[in-house]
């Protein structure tokens, strides 16, 4: 497996978030929505890898995009990469979202950096009705609105401070939309409190849902236990590896810890 790929392009989405296109034909050929890559970010720690979701895949060109929000030293180092730089990537990793033909009407619910894996899901899911609900802190944090619009029948955005779209949390939008129409499955990714609440809303309506967890990671391949999360078994619970058993889990199975 070739780990060294090339940065194709970088597009700034807002002051702290950018889209990086990576030329990697093998990953573009096999990557599935919801899977992620573990990227060597460089900087002062030569071994520093960080996980990023496959945001958009162009199988013909052999490229994929990751959306990156600068949080700390890894993402800061990654933001200094330029077009044509070599980049060391392991992937695609993890399981990915389900793409069932029986789910004719789906909704995706994303918050902050959690919106990124949902774009490729919308592009590949066979459903005929696709509702997109996105939440951001404020107007400046809204990213990829047009790309999501292109892949959805309907889109609604919420911001915490009301500076764009509806005021409040995206979960309020979800609650309202589920009152208005039937949905077969909901796909959720975002901050833990948001995912927990969104799962509760789906459970109350008996609508199956899937969550993509963004637990901190080390190795990304099931060897270090850094990414353990609690999951329900029939009448017990156990730890699962988000990197290997996930990052996508059925909403009902996750024991959320805030
Ligand atoms: C499966 C998966 C997919 C992801 N996809 C994306 C993506 O598409 N785009 C994107 O921008 N980020 C994504 N992330 C989160 C991203 O990996 C972290 O933001 C990144 O590792 C932070 O590294 P850092 O060195 O810059 O920050 P650090 O210096 O390690 O930490 C800086 C701050 O960020 C917080 N932080 C670190 N890791 C996470 C995390 N996993 N979730 C929430 N907060 C965190 C820390 O608590 C700290 O406050 C994903 C994470 C996972 C597990
Ligand atoms: S990140 Fe090492 S086991 Fe999951």
Whether 205 contacts 185, CB under 8 Å: no
Architecture of the domain made up of 4-93: Beta Barrel (2.40)
* Residue 138 pLDDT > 90: yes
Backbone angles phi and psi of 95, in degrees to 5: -95, -45
| 3-class SS of residue 25 | helix
Whether 191 contacts 171, CB under 8 Å: no
Ramachandran region of residue 144, left (φ > 0), alpha (ψ -120 to 50) or beta?
A: left
Please report which ligand is nearest the Cα atom of 51.
1
Mean pLDDT of the 46-54 span: 86
* Residue 258 pLDDT > 70: no
- pLDDT-derived band at 46 (thresholds 50, 70, 90) equals low
Q: What is the pLDDT of residue 44?
A: 67
Q: What is the pLDDT of residue 1?
A: 65
| Vertex 181: Cα angle to 178 and 184 (nearest 5) | 75
Summary mean pLDDT of the chain: 94
Whether 96 contacts 33, CB under 8 Å: yes
Adjacent-strand bridge partners of 239: 230
**Residues framing ligand 1 (Cβ under 6 A):** 36, 50-53, 66-69, 71-75, 113, 116, 214-217, 247
The 10s digit of each residue's pLDDT in 178-206 is 999 999 999 999 999 999 999 999 999 99
The domain ranges of the chain are: 4-93, 105-253
Report the relative pairing of strands 129-136 and 154-159 from DSSP bridges: parallel
Ligand 1 center to 83 CA (angstroms): 23
* Residue 48 pLDDT > 90: no
Q: Which two tokens stand for residue 29?
A: 């050929």
* Residue 45 pLDDT > 70: no
Using most ligand atoms within 8 A of CB, pick from 213, 225, 245 the residue to mutate for ligand 2: 225
Q: What is the pLDDT of residue 64?
A: 98
Helix (H) or strand (E) holding 5: strand 4-14
Between 225 and 200, name the one with better pLDDT.
200
Ramachandran region of residue 112, left (φ > 0), alpha (ψ -120 to 50) or beta?
A: left
Ramachandran region of residue 184, left (φ > 0), alpha (ψ -120 to 50) or beta?
A: alpha
The 10s digit of each residue's pLDDT in 65-81 is 999 999 999 999 999 99
Q: What distance in Å separates the CA atoms of residue 55 and residue 3, rounded to the nearest whole number?
A: 19
Q: What is the pTM of this model?
A: 0.95
The 10s digit of each residue's pLDDT in 87-125 is 999 999 999 999 999 999 999 999 999 999 999 999 999
The residues, ordered by sequence, that sit 6+ positions from 27 with a Cβ below 8 Å of its Cβ are: 5, 37, 54, 64, 89, 91, 92
Using most ligand atoms within 8 A of CB, pick from 39, 51, 241 the residue to mutate for ligand 2: 241
> Does the 105-253 domain belong in CATH 3.40.50.80?
yes
């Amino acid at each position: 497996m070739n780990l060294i790929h090339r940065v194709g392009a970088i597009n700034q989405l807002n002051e702290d978030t950018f889209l990086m296109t990576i030329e990697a034909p093998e990953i573009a050929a096999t990557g599935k929505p919801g899977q992620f890559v573990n990227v060597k970010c460089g900087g002062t720690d030569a071994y520093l890898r960080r996980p990023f979701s496959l945001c958009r895949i162009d199988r013909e060109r052999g490229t994929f995009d990751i959306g990156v929000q600068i949080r700390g030293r890894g993402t800061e180092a990654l933001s200094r990469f330029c077009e044509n730089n070599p980049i060391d990537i392991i992937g695609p990793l993890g399981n990915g979202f389900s793409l069932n033909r029986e789910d004719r009407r789906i909704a995706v619910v994303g918050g902050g950096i959690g919106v990124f894996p949902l774009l490729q899901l919308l592009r590949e899911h066979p459903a005929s009705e696709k509702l997109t609900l996105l939440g951001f802190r404020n107007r400046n944090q809204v990213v990829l609105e047009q790309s999501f619009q292109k892949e959805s029948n309907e889109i609604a955005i919420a911001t915490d401070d009301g500076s764009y779209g509806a005021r409040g949390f995206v979960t309020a939008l979800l609650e309202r939309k589920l009152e208005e129409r039937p949905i077969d499955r909901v796909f959720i990714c975002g901050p833990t409190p948001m995912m927990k609440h969104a799962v509760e809303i789906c459970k109350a309506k008996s609508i199956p849902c899937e969550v993509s967890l963004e637990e901190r990671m080390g190795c990304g391949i099931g060897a270090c236990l850094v990414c353990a999360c609690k999951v329900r078994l029939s009448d017990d619970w156990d730890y699962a590896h988000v990197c290997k058993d996930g990052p996508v889990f059925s909403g009902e199975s996750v024991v959320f810890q805030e």
